[in-house]
């Protein structure tokens, strides 16, 4: 038995680093172990990493079973937060461009446009995270999520290309966006049809449908493809962001997609 034992308050603080369902299962015996252990800085760090692992992976027995809707490991939550952040970021961009209307060659306009690839990259990672999270489900939904992520990644690269090289490549960007909007609609349809909470699914479905129609109207005379593309990006990206925010249990998105 070690000479110096940690105080109960210190043990209580360390226990609170762990998720609630982990504490429900292990807190008593873990507190007993810590009471018998001299807590060196190395051991405190080890406990902190253990708590992070419990929150990240949720790979332990729980009264909630393996239901990730209830357990909400951090790996699922971060993906949804990233998706929501992408939508919010894009909304900020749209506000700067559409409301403040800075001159097109001014620094504010350039700075706002540079947010686009960042937001799309966040969307790419967020959607990939949602579809890859270990939530079970069928192969079709998982594949749809990965396709949406790949298309969003393609859009990111296409936008970067346009920034760096010039105006060539709008057609490729439009084609990528049409695919992204269509897959977004399909994912929304799956969520709307398969979940009790159908609002986020409906948001995605409607956003995908509107964006696809807008893309088609870009072919009409007198409609600038750049304006329509920007509008499409706004609608779909903010829709993904809204879904990320509405889904206080983001694993439900992953479950529907996966």
Partner 1 sequence: MPSDLTDLGRFTEPSIAILVALSDGPKHGYAIMADVQATAGQPLGPGTLYAALGRLEHRGLIEPLPAEDRRRPYRLTGLGATILRTHLHQLDRFVQTGLVRLNGSAASGAGA
Contact set with partner 1 (CB under 8 A):
22, 26, 28-37, 42-43, 46-51, 53-54, 59-61
Q: How far is the CB of 133 from partner 1 (least distance, A)?
A: 16
Q: Which is nearer to partner 1, 50 or 225 (CB)?
A: 50
Cβ closer to partner 1: 11 or 147? 11
Closest CA to 148 of 228, 253, 14: 253
Q: Tell the smallest beta-carbon distance from residue 252 to partner 1 (Å).
A: 23
Query: Smallest gap, in angstroms, from Cβ of residue 72 to partner 1?
Result: 17
220-232: b (≥16 Cβ within 10 Å) or e:
eeeeeeeebbbbb
Nearest-approach distance from CB 42 to partner 1, in angstroms:
7
For partner 1, give the closer residue by CB, 29 or 105.
29
Instruction: Between 1 and 220, name the residue whose CB sits nearer to partner 1.
Output: 1
Q: Among residues 18 and 233, whose Cβ is nearest to partner 1?
A: 18
| Pick from 68, 113, 139: nearest CA to 233 | 113
**227 close to 203: Cβ distance less than 8 angstroms:** no
Report the nearest approach of partner 1 to the CB of residue 29 (Å).
4
Q: How far is the CB of 26 from partner 1 (least distance, A)?
A: 6
- Complex with partner 1: residue 134 or 198, whichever CB lies closer: 134
Q: How far is the CB of 255 from partner 1 (least distance, A)?
A: 20
For partner 1, give the closer residue by CB, 17 or 96: 17
Report whether 117 contacts 159 (CB < 8 A): yes
Q: What is the rounded distance in angstroms from the CA atom of residue 203 to the CA atom of residue 174?
A: 22
């Amino acid at each position: 038995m070690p000479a110096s034992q940690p105080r109960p308050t210190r043990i209580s603080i360390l226990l609170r680093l762990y998720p609630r369902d982990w504490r429900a299962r292990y807190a008593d015996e873990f507190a007993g172990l810590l009471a018998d252990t001299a807590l060196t800085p190395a051991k405190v760090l080890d406990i902190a990493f253990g708590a992070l692992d419990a929150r990240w992976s949720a790979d332990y027995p729980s009264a909630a079973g393996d239901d990730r809707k209830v357990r909400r490991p951090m790996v699922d939550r971060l993906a949804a937060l990233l998706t929501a952040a992408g939508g919010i970021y894009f909304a900020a961009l749209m506000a700067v461009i559409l409301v403040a209307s800075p001159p097109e060659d001014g620094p504010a306009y350039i700075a706002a446009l540079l947010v686009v690839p960042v937001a799309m990259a966040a969307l790419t990672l967020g959607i990939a995270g949602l579809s890859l999270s270990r939530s079970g489900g069928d192969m079709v939904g998982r594949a749809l999520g990965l396709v949406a992520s790949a298309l969003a990644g393609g859009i990111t690269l296409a936008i970067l290309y346009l920034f760096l090289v010039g105006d060539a490549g709008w057609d490729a960007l439009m084609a990528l966006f049409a695919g992204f909007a269509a897959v977004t609609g399909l994912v929304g349809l799956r969520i709307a049809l398969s979940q009790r909470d159908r609002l986020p699914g409906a948001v995605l479905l409607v956003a995908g449908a509107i964006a696809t129609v807008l893309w088609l109207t870009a072919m009409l005379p007198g409609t600038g493809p750049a304006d329509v593309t920007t509008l499409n990006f706004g609608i779909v990206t903010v829709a993904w962001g809204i879904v990320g925010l509405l889904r206080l249990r983001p694993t439900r998105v992953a479950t529907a997609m996966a």
